Amino acid sequence: MNFKPTNKMILRLTMVMGILLWVALTFVNGLQVFDEIYEVNMGISKQLPMLLLDLCFISFIVYYRIKINKVESSNFVDLLWRVFAIGLVTTVISLASELFYSTIADTALAGHWLTNTLFYNINFGLVSVFLISTFTVWKKLVLYQKSRRLVIYWNVFEGLLMACIFFNFTGFTLEESVFFQLLFGVLALLALVLSANLKWVAYLNFKQKWKSILLILLISIYLIYFFRLIYTPESDSLRFLNSIDNLFIVILFTFLLVYSIFSFLVILFNLPTSSVFEQKLEEAINFQRLSQSIQQGENENQIFDILLKSSMSAVYADAGWVEIDKLNGEPLLRTKNISRVNLNETKRHIKQGKHKHLLKTPLDKASDEDRILVNFKKSNFRSALIVPLVVQNKIAGQMYLLKEVSDGFNSEMINIINTFSSQAAISVENFRLLGDALENERYKEELNIAKSVQRALIPKTLDHDEHFDIHAFTEAAAEVGGDYYDTFKLEAHKFAIVIGDVSGNGTSAAFHMSQMKGIFQSLAQLDLSAEEFMIKANSALSKCLEKKSFITLSYFIINTLDRTIEFSRAGHCPTLYYSKKNKKAEYLQSKGLGLGILRNEKYASFVSVNKITFAKDDIVVLYTDGISEATNSMKDEFGYDRMQNLLDQNAHYDPIMIQKIFIGKLYEFCGNEDLNDDYTMVVIKFK
Amino acid sequence: MIEIHKHIENNYLLITVEGEADASSSIHLDSNIKESIEENHKIILVDCTNLNYISSAGLGVFMSHIAEIEEKEINFILFGLSEKVQNVFNMLGLDQLLTIKSNKEEILAEI
């Protein structure tokens, strides 16, 4: 079975072991004293109590190491408090035992060897517990923010110290042995060097420093009390119980005391400057708050509030406000410790202030972005610092910081304020960019809606009869486009077919395209001639088209009974017509003027109508200029000739195939060039 | 990109249009023509010799001023159009509404 002891188990085990060892030690010591006094040779080995003592130390060391390690390392006051508490308990027990001893002074027990041994051992046990627990805590403090070198020093020190536990086997004493003195000297020196590690002190705030001073003072008192308790002059003591000759205890005492004194003094001398440290720490926290404010979903005003609050506390300002320029109307004000009336008054004073001092910003040339320092006399404030808030290279507003003393701002403060204000500006900028991104997202969404609405305007089925096949294709460069095609069944054998292109492209073109659809669907109901249709469509569009917009259109009336096509062209690209009889494709030339170009009755004179008859397998290709004028990377146009040839070569195909070949060839021609215009084609093949 | 220059020569205003008149640059073209019309010039010549391309938006600019040109009886003449640009004008039918001449000499001989 794989048994792994937990910390809790080891804690209990070491505690029980420590206590048992101590009891055994007391017992053996008693026997030894008994042996000495009554000279009964019981044959107790001299080494036995030493071994018990050393094992007892080790048990306590392990116990406290585990116990103290559990405490959060940065909570220094808590650590000191623990040492203090252990010290309190141990001294109280020690004092109580002493009190008890004095109460029995008159009895036979007093001065009895058994009582003496017991009390000596009680005291010694208490001292060991206190020293070892304090040592563990001190170790944590020394090693706070440790460096590699420090760890090496510490390990040497601790290793030697642990070895010293067993030094008692040598039997050397402080007074007599040079080796003892030398070893003590070396360890004391190491203790002194290590005691210089007091980084934790810097992280205490003012209140914590006071607490620490008090606790260390009390701990030092315990240490001295215990030292005195244990240090019994040679003559009084039973020789082998003289604990001052235990190197381990002596060094522990030395180290603990030295470190206590160092800590005490360092904390004491750090007291006056601790407010500066706290201030710096607060600045760092404020700075972080300013940078994080976006993530917390705060709005611009909250950012300005944080800026004002942080800046005021950083420079000990008595009042202040942030003024944010608004495009229209009054600037937005965020104030602190100042009323509106007072604010306006102060502003007037600042304007009149004679001792103005401009501070050039290192980043920009613009004079508006200079910080201004003002000293003035007649107001209840005596100095002011005015800092512009620059967001996206524009001045978004100003921050005013006021002090009741004159010359209240030093360059250090101004630097901090600069940092704060630029961080706030970044936060605001991020906030605005995020807003813009969301807005763009919304526009995209709107465009997608427009796209689906426009898609609904494109006919799903094209009107035709058994005399011709028809197929159409359209694609827009942007989400929405200005190309348009449609069909309408005028009579049983009469169909209107239209193709158009609104000038420009994008959204405005799409709006006009939908107007065109409305006009076509309305006018087609009237079964007008091609000429009438054009005149009426122009007239209708004249009233709703933008000034610079026009629509080109080709309008066809296919009569499958007469097998005729009547068509009119309003500025649209000429229709490509393939005649089976001639085995040749040609463009149908005719005069015409785009719709909306001439917005009066004169337009009628520009409308011309042609009429042709069609034969089986004749093909009509309607298209928009997006196809004929599509360009490749060489700036060549797809062009009329290419289209004409394509139709010549592929006239035997059905309309779907013809369209696919045309568009396929178009893409091939354009290569990787982006689509820069909408393109549409309608193919009709007669049967 | 489009570049537009205006000069007063003798008794007419000469507008030189160079580059491409597409959707964005035609705004610039429009403001120039509008300005010239408002300045009450009786003869305005537009030199399109170096106009490489004109989009429907560019055509819209010329179209939108036709009514005013007529009303103010301005002699508004375009010249030097490339074949490609001329075709675009013709297809839309603008050649029927605007005076388009092949070169400046031809115009000067007439006026």
Q: What CATH number is associated with residue B19?
A: 3.30.750.24
Residues of chain B with C-beta less than 8 angstroms from the C-beta of A549: 60
Say if CB A499 and CB A487 are below 8 A apart: no
SS3 category, A226: helix
Asked whether residue A476 falls in the same domain as residue A421, the answer is: no
Q: Is residue A231 part of a domain?
A: yes
Nearest Cα neighbor of A627 from A590, A569, A678 is A678
Number of H helices and E strands in chain B, helices first, is 5, 6
Of all residues in chain B, what percent are helix, strand and coil, respectively (each to 5)?
45, 30, 25
Is B60 an 8 Å CB contact of chain A? yes
Residues of chain B with C-beta less than 8 angstroms from the C-beta of A599: 67
Q: Rounded distance, CA A481 to CA B95, Å?
A: 27
- State whether A503 and B93 contact (CB < 8 Å): no
- pLDDT, residue A298, reads 61
User: What is the chain B residue with the closest CA to A636?
Assistant: B84
Say if CB A617 and CB A686 are below 8 A apart: yes
Where are the extended beta strands (E) located within A418-574?
468-475, 483-491, 494-502, 551-559, 564-570
Is B4 an 8 Å CB contact of chain A? no
- pLDDT, residue A563, reads 94
Q: Give the end of a domain, one of A242, A276, A310.
A: A276
pLDDT, tens digit, 9 for 90 and up, residues A526-570:
999 999 999 999 999 999 898 889 999 999 999 999 999 999 999
Residue B46, domain extent:
2-103
Q: Rounded distance, CA A70 to CA A66, Å?
A: 7
Instruction: Report helix angle A507-525 to A411-457, nearest 10.
Output: 20
Nearest Cα neighbor of B31 from B71, B78, B77, B64 is B64
Residue whose structure tokens are 């300045």: B39
- State whether A571 and B93 contact (CB < 8 Å): yes
Q: Rounded distance, CA A95 to CA A123, Å?
A: 9
Residue A334 burial (CB count, 10 A): 20
Best to test chain B binding among A502, A548, A569 (most B CBs inside 10 Å): A548
DSSP A572: P
- State whether A503 and B94 contact (CB < 8 Å): no
Structure tokens at A380: 């209840």
Say if CB B2 and CB B21 are below 8 A apart: yes
Residues of chain B with C-beta less than 8 angstroms from the C-beta of A641: none
Number of H helices and E strands in chain A, helices first, is 17, 16
Q: Rounded distance, CA A364 to CA A353, Å?
A: 25
Q: Give the end of a domain, one of A276, A307, A342.
A: A276
> What is the C-alpha radius of gyration for chain B, rounded to an integer number of angstroms?
13
User: What is the chain A residue with the closest CA to B65?
Assistant: A548
Residues of chain A with C-beta less than 8 angstroms from the C-beta of B59: 503, 550
Residue A583, domain extent:
458-686
Contacts of A485 (CB under 8 A, 6+ apart): A458, A459, A472, A474, A497, A498, A499, A500, A622, A680, A682
Q: Is residue B110 part of a domain?
A: no
Asked whether residue A503 falls in the same domain as residue A559, the answer is: yes
Structure tokens at A441: 């997202």
Asked whether residue A139 falls in the same domain as residue A197, the answer is: yes
- Nearest beta carbon to residue B94 from set A572, A591, A597: A597
CA A10 to chain centre: 43
Q: Is residue A31 part of a domain?
A: no
- Nearest beta carbon to residue A593 from set B56, B57, B93: B93
Percent of chain B with pLDDT over 90: 57
Residues paired with residue A566 on neighbouring β-strands, in sequence order: A557, A611
- pLDDT, residue A326, reads 80
Contacts of A322 (CB under 8 A, 6+ apart): A304, A305, A307, A308, A333, A334, A389, A397, A398, A399, A400
**CATH number of the domain encompassing residue A376:** 3.30.450.40
Q: Rounded distance, CA A472 to CA A559, Å?
A: 20
Residues paired with residue A321 on neighbouring β-strands, in sequence order: A335, A400
- State whether B57 and A550 contact (CB < 8 Å): no
Q: Is residue B15 part of a domain?
A: yes
Count of structural domains within chain A: 3
Asked whether residue A261 falls in the same domain as residue A298, the answer is: no
Q: What is the dihedral of CA A244, A246, A249, A253, to 10 degrees?
A: 40
Low-confidence ranges of chain A (pLDDT < 50): 1, 234-241, 362-367
Nearest-CA distance from A563 to chain B in Å? Answer: 28
Residue whose structure tokens are 């613009």: A366
Helix (H) / strand (E) element for A10: namely helix A7-38
User: What is the chain B residue with the closest CA to A590?
Assistant: B91
- Nearest beta carbon to residue A503 from set B56, B67, B93: B56
Asked whether residue A221 falls in the same domain as residue A356, the answer is: no
Q: Rounded distance, CA A32 to CA A645, Å?
A: 125
Asked whether residue A497 falls in the same domain as residue A582, the answer is: yes
Q: Is residue B111 part of a domain?
A: no
- pLDDT, residue A111, reads 65
Q: Is residue B19 part of a domain?
A: yes
Q: Is residue A3 part of a domain?
A: no
Q: Is residue B51 part of a domain?
A: yes
Amino acid in the structure at residue A13 = L
Is B27 an 8 Å CB contact of chain A? no
Structure tokens at A309: 């609050």
Q: Rounded distance, CA A104 to CA B21, Å?
A: 118
Instruction: Report helix angle A530-544 to A507-525, nearest 10.
Output: 140
Nearest-CA distance from A622 to chain B in Å? Answer: 15
Q: Is residue B72 part of a domain?
A: yes
Q: Is residue A27 part of a domain?
A: no
Please, what is the Cα angle at A96 between A90 and A102, to 5 degrees? Answer: 140
Residues of chain B with C-beta less than 8 angstroms from the C-beta of A602: none
Contacts of A158 (CB under 8 A, 6+ apart): A139
Residue A60 burial (CB count, 10 A): 26
Q: Rounded distance, CA A46 to CA A113, Å?
A: 18
Residue whose structure tokens are 């400057």: A273
Residues paired with residue A637 on neighbouring β-strands, in sequence order: A631
Say if CB B33 and CB B64 are below 8 A apart: no
Q: Is residue B60 part of a domain?
A: yes
Helix (H) / strand (E) element for A123: namely helix A113-142
Residues of chain B with C-beta less than 8 angstroms from the C-beta of A591: 93, 96
Asked whether residue A124 falls in the same domain as residue A241, the answer is: yes
Say if CB A604 and CB A525 are below 8 A apart: no
Is B48 an 8 Å CB contact of chain A? no
Contacts of A603 (CB under 8 A, 6+ apart): A535, A538, A539, A593, A597
Asked whether residue A503 falls in the same domain as residue A476, the answer is: yes
Interface of A with B (CB under 8 A): 501, 503-505, 547-550, 552, 570-574, 591-594, 597-599, 606, 625
Count of structural domains within chain B: 1
Predicted-complex ipTM score? 0.92
Say if CB A174 and CB A164 are below 8 A apart: no
Instruction: Report helix angle A113-142 to A47-69, nearest 10.
Output: 40
Q: Is the pLDDT of residue B82 over 90?
A: yes
Q: Rounded distance, CA A390 to CA A398, Å?
A: 9
Structure tokens at A543: 């009233």
Q: Rounded distance, CA A586 to CA A640, Å?
A: 10
Say if CB B47 and CB B104 are below 8 A apart: yes
Say if CB A224 and CB A92 are below 8 A apart: no
Asked whether residue A407 falls in the same domain as residue A535, the answer is: no
DSSP A358: E
- Nearest beta carbon to residue A593 from set B23, B57, B96: B96
- State whether A593 and B97 contact (CB < 8 Å): yes
- State whether A548 and B23 contact (CB < 8 Å): no
Q: Is residue A493 part of a domain?
A: yes
Asked whether residue A173 falls in the same domain as residue A320, the answer is: no
Q: Rounded distance, CA A641 to CA A586, Å?
A: 10
- Nearest beta carbon to residue A597 from set B30, B57, B93: B93
Q: Is residue A288 part of a domain?
A: no
Q: Rounded distance, CA A568 to CA A94, Å?
A: 120
Q: Is residue A298 part of a domain?
A: yes
Say if CB A346 and CB A318 are below 8 A apart: no
**CATH number of the domain encompassing residue A556:** 3.60.40.10
DSSP A676: -
Nearest-CA distance from B73 to chain A in Å? Answer: 16
Asked whether residue A181 falls in the same domain as residue A302, the answer is: no
- pLDDT, residue A141, reads 87
Phi/psi for A313 (5° steps) reads -75, -30
Q: Is residue A346 part of a domain?
A: yes
Contacts of A114 (CB under 8 A, 6+ apart): A30, A33, A34
- pLDDT, residue A74, reads 66
- pLDDT, residue A366, reads 44
Q: Is residue B109 part of a domain?
A: no
Residues of chain A with C-beta less than 8 angstroms from the C-beta of B63: 548, 550, 594, 597
Asked whether residue A269 falls in the same domain as residue A304, the answer is: no
- pLDDT, residue A114, reads 76
CA A1 to chain centre: 49
Residue whose structure tokens are 């804690």: A11
Q: In B7-72, which ranges are continuous DSSP H helix?
A: 26-38, 56-64, 66-71
pLDDT class of B2 with cuts at 50, 70, 90: confident
